[in-house]
Amino acid sequence: MTLFQDREQAFEQTFVHDEEARFRALARRNKLLGQWAATQLGLTGQKADAYVNEISGSLVARVVDEGLVEKLRADFVTKGVNQSDEQIREKMAELMAAAVAQVRSSTW
């Protein structure tokens, strides 16, 4: 292999690794978000588990994030939980940072 091919292969491997880590972090964030929301909604047991699974099934970042904000806000309104869109987005950002840290340390 030439030096150029070695660099290209290294770049591709790094890209794949970064995308896998991003996917795992997003999946983890959505699970944490579902757990947080289930707690806010007062869900327990199987209902909480089902809600977490529903939320954590959303894995495409940008478009789905806004869909998650809308879904959570609607669910919160239905149950009388006072959370603004901005508060939900802040929680999502907080949980994404926690998820990235967990993926990096492989603690989940």
pLDDT in tens, 31-81: 999 999 999 999 999 999 999 998 887 655 555 788 889 999 999 999 999
pLDDT above 60: residue 107: no
Q: How far is CA 28 from CA 74, 77, 80, 108, in A?
A: 22, 25, 27, 8
Q: What is the model's pLDDT at position 108?
A: 52
Position 80 scores a pLDDT of 95
pTM listed for this prediction: 0.65
Percent above pLDDT 90 for the chain: 45
At residue 1, the pLDDT reads 61
